[in-house]
Amino acid sequence: MNKLLIVLIFVMAAATLFILVKGVIGMAQGKDLTGMRSQQLMRKRVLFQAITIVLVIAFLLLASGKH
């Protein structure tokens, strides 16, 4: 179970990083005049970060033996 959580944590962290980089590149290019795309990417990033944090907490709880 711990190995699965570690893999999921890395996958979600990588997804968060990907969305972050995609948003930064999009802002640097300046193509999104209304900001709608930036908002969508920011919402996805926050969601992925939240999922990653929940997975880390679950991993720490399982690793400490308190579940």
Global pTM?
0.83
SS3 state at 29: helix
Q: What is the pLDDT of residue 34?
A: 84
Q: What is the pLDDT of residue 60?
A: 93
Q: What is the pLDDT of residue 3?
A: 92
Supply the range of the domain harboring residue 59.
2-64
Q: What is the pLDDT along the chain (67 residues), one digit of tens a residue?
A: 789 999 999 999 999 999 999 999 988 888 877 888 889 999 999 999 999 999 999 999 998 886 5
Q: What is the pLDDT of residue 4?
A: 93
Please tell me the total count of domains within the chain.
1
Which residues lie below 8 Å from residue 6, measured CB to CB, with a gap of 6+?
59
